[in-house]
Structure 1
């Protein structure tokens, strides 16, 4: 789920600000365009998790054990203070390093420092000194008085709350564990850096975009005569070339984005893939979003999947299996870029493509398609989903995702028997348990 943070409004990642500069549009345009595609990612993640839990027979918490919203906030409000500090610094235009420093410092203050522990007050006093020094005219480009006041207030609140503090032994243990995780992720990132360096030094990446379009044209010329008998436009040579180009560019983005920070991979991929997509007549905004999406997907795509390596380190799990699981959960994010390239109405902000009817048709059917594919991946819907029924649900889901009224109607015919089978299986299960 966190792998969607780079593409989820309103914050997104630093690459979204670069996109606004490249396209010369307001940042709000990028935010609005990203809303629906990001939503599809989370629909896929939540659906697969939900149906997998149903298949495994995992029980929900009883109502009396579910945490109460008001009670949780009353007992843990102070844990939000470091997050507020981090966001204040980040949105004020300072570097991520500065935001991380303030966030971690506030975590130490909130979790370990208190009035009844006089020695521990050295940390918040040092932090306050740093904040107000940054607000002074001697620090150059420092904090504004307003921001310094907000950060100072957060520091004081972190010291004054009445909840239990941890010991400094726990702080030392936290630092020890953090270093261990950082070493595991750093080793993987260093190995990936060698691959990225070779690609950039040899210039392979910058030739790749044009090689892809030429290769797709050759493959389309070979496949089109075999599909002429269908007389369908979707199997024409131009359509096949466009689809193959998109698939190959997506694969190239995933491979080249492996292990890179989002900003760096976006800059590199725009230079490589954007010209190739522009040749296919794809709108500029859809092109940049397409490149960004598939670059971000590299974070959860084996064998590199740097984010999955970090998650596996925390969970004590096998990194490759964690990567495969993450990739499976991210199937929604994998398919959606294809949709907004073929149907830019999903991005909302392109008036030449947007109508309310087309937007609703594309968005709703895409959401239903992602949902259907999630049931096929997890192997459960209303009852266990196996064999041919699972295949039919996958095909029907893919046809729902495809932005075409004809494919939507065909998907209904494919999915209808599966729904009938699921209703029958559910009734049989209920009868067997009574």
Structure 2
């Protein structure tokens, strides 16, 4: 594995090991085709509901949840050692129950609406079973942490009068908890599931169609052509291709394994350390979720929570995302220079003309960007992207999609979306209990009090909370929880809403590479055969821009293009990029030549000052960086002269 690209079977094994949402049963026989047909029907229903079906949310969302619950119980085992090839009677019963409790909404829609707050015993029984099924589905697909958090919030809602201090509230009985959690649009069927049933599903489906036409493989080839021959080429290929891969995959682990299967072995062959090679791929792949035009699923939730268009979120995310990848690119460059690594040879690269002839495969991405910029809704933009993918793929025989390919893409998209369905439904329980008890505002005020009203400490505590939650929950669930609790605290302290929500979004994502539980880094270490924890530490070091950028755009929202001119935003981007050069050089220990400890400290200090917005920090930062550059340049010239005079 260290010298050759890993095979597809090993790729699937790693994804299943580190990405819980991908650990589905490998079914055979009739059950395989039953689940396949259900997955295709799920996608077709979602397309129909966008194009021509006009359904009230109390019907559309339960149908969306019905498909999700049914398929989760058919495709995901209840235990880690469960039989991956058989569904079993218990799971079939649970799948049918999932359909029954959700269809209860559909068949008795008018009755449930008219008896709001005065539910029958049957209503309560159905609602209680629905809550339990959602919790178990989330446990199977997403993991124990989010399920445990949801249960804690439910218990807190019931035991409110017995809570200490500011946590105390009047409490709610079981009927009210069940009614609020399942029979209103503020619980399971609330905003998170609403976004899952519209924007998120369609963009996941768009990614599945892109993958089926071979765009993922093309991204790798294009990256090799653009960056392969540069110093330390494979590492830069990993950075570039992973940024592109984020368009078709919302999973850091999936990004790592699919692109890392060939970039990590290349980096190791060239001379990069195993930990560094794995860290480059892990940090770059994690950043794919923050890269417009199609970001991670949580970005669509952010647009709905804040009440702005997805285009606004993508525009705000553009400069920080660029800064993130520039930071990794800079550090891989300095590491390659430090080790004296070469780029790839012409023989190791794909044919440039053949790759450029396939540039048409990028058209769907350009089309979806254009659609969003023309203020076409996110749902319709996604459908335009799907149609254009099929049309563009038809240009050449090797990318043309057959009917079987289209059906497989429909099934694949629905399968990937199951994790989002489970996470958002479970997160809806949490959000519902927060609105029922008012705990969100209490915790926000508590967070501010804990920080003594200081913005920086509040940001720091929010970052720690996001990182801890991210150790056991996917980005979507992490963002929902932290944005509900922490974002209001930041907004109270005067932080713009987009900046506050983007702050929690960023740290929820980088949790995937932050030890001790760094799933993306661990997946990369599985390919590189490196030490997992050291790989996580290296990934965190490489992704230093992801830890700095959120603080920058909170202090200076110009980086998010908020209340600023284009010139001001470019200046912030320029100073931040220059600062990242200094930070990168200092952390790697190389600029024009190898640096001693004093030079490294000088570079990092100057870089951090340049990254912090404002002339008061930019000027001393540039002075320190200039001194560091001069020292390094002088040392490199001296070394070259010594080499020249050596006989």
Work out whether the TM-score is over 0.5: yes
Matched with 1:279 is 492
1:69 lines up with 2:352 in the alignment: yes
Residue in 2 that maps onto 1:318: 531
Equivalent pair of 1:259/1:298 in contact (CA under 8 Å) = no
The answer to whether residue 215 in structure 2 is matched with residue 215 in structure 1 is no
Number of the residue aligned with 1:44: 327
How far does residue 328 in structure 1 lie from its aligned partner after superposition? 1.1
* TM superposition shift of 1:20: 1.1
Superposition map of 1:359-398 within 5 A: 359-398=569-608
CA displacement, residues 332-351 of structure 1 (integer Å, 9 cap, x when unaligned)? 11100111111111111x3x
* Partners of 1:41 and 1:284 in 2: CA distance: 21
User: 1:292 is matched with which residue?
Assistant: 505
Distance 1:160 1:20 in 2: 34
Q: Distance in 2 between matches of 1:152 and 1:343?
A: 41
2:390 corresponds, among 143, 150, 154, to 150
Kept after mapping to 2: 8 A contact 1:44/1:329: yes
| Aligned equivalent of 1:401, options 611, 617, 622 | 611
CA deviation string 1:252-280 (max 9, x = no partner): 11112223222111111111211211121
SS, match of residue 534 in structure 2: helix
Equivalence map 1:96-111=2 (5 Å) = none
Tell me the distance in 1 between the aligned counterparts of 2:580 and 2:307.
32
Partner SS state of residue 495, structure 2 = coil
Residues 197-218 of structure 1 show CA distances to partners (whole Å, capped at 9, x for unaligned) of 9xx99x9x9676444322221x
- Residues 232-263 of structure 1: CA distance to partner in whole angstroms, max 9, x if unpaired? xxxxxx7xx21122122111111122232221
Report the Cα offset of residue 360 of structure 1. 2.7
- Deviation per CA, 1:279-336: give whole Å up to 9, x if none: 2110101111111011111011011111111111222222111111111111111100
Shift of 1:160: 8.8
Contact 1:7 1:13 in 2 (8 A): yes
Q: For the Cα contact (< 8 Å) 1:375–1:381, is it kept in 2?
A: yes
Cα pair distance change 1:158/1:423, threshold 3 Å: closer
SS at match of 1:61: coil
Q: Deviations over 1:163-182 (max 9, x none)?
A: xxxxxxxxxxxxxxxxxxxx
The 8 Å contact of residues 259 and 305 in structure 1, kept in 2 or not, is answered as: no
Selected match of 2:546 from 333, 344, 347: 333
Alignment match, 1:119:
none
Q: Is the 8 A contact 1:259 1:299 kept in 2?
A: no
The gaps in structure 1 that reach 5 residues or longer are 100-142, 162-196, 218-237
The TM-score with structure 2 as length reference comes to 0.44
Q: Counterpart of 1:381 in 2: which secondary structure?
A: coil
8 Å CA contact 2:394–2:400 kept in 1: the answer is no
CA–CA distance in structure 2, aligned partners of residues 420 and 153 of structure 1: 52
* Equivalence for 2:336: 53
Unaligned runs of 5+ in 2: 1-283, 369-376, 402-429
- Which of 458, 462, 465 aligns to 1:245? It is 458
Give how far 1:63 is off: 5.8
Q: Which of the numbers 12, 23, 28 marks the counterpart of 2:295?
A: 12
Counterpart-to-counterpart distance in 2, 1:154 and 1:303: 46
TM-align CA RMSD:
3.7
- Correspondence 1:35 to 2:318: yes
What's the CA shift string for 1:107-152, capped at 9, x where partnerless? xxxxxxxxxxxxxxxxxxxxxxxxxxxxxxxxxxxx99x9599399
Alpha-carbon distance between aligned partners in 1 of 2:396 and 2:575, rounded to the nearest angstrom = 51
Q: Does 1:263 align with 2:476?
A: yes
C-alpha distance in structure 2 between counterparts of 1:275 and 1:395, whole Å: 32
Aligned length: 316
Aligned to 1:305: 518
Distance in 1 between the 2:527 and 2:596 partners?
Answer: 33
* Structure 1 residue aligned with 2:564: 354
Mapped contact 1:286–1:341 kept (Cα < 8 A): yes
SS at match of 1:276: helix
- CA 1:368–1:342 in 2, change beyond 3 Å: closer, same or farther? same
TM-score (norm 1): 0.65
CA drift at 1:73? 5.6
Quote the Cα distance in structure 1 between the aligned partners of 2:443 and 2:475: 20
Q: CA deviation at 1:92?
A: 9.7
Alignment of 1:158-173 (within 5 A): 158=398
- TM-superposed deviation, 1:62: 4.8
Cα distance in 2 between the residues matched to 1:323 and 1:70:
38
Measure the CA separation in 2 of the matches of 1:269 and 1:160. 43
For the residues of structure 2 that align with 1:410 and 1:159, how far apart are their CA atoms?
A: 54
Separation in structure 2 between the aligned mates of residue 149 and residue 369 of structure 1, nearest angstrom: 39
Aligned 8 A contact 2:447 2:486 in 1 = no
Does structure 1 conserve the Cα–Cα contact (< 8 Å) formed by 2:514 and 2:539? yes
Q: Indicate conservation of the 8 Å contact 2:583/2:608, yes or no.
A: yes
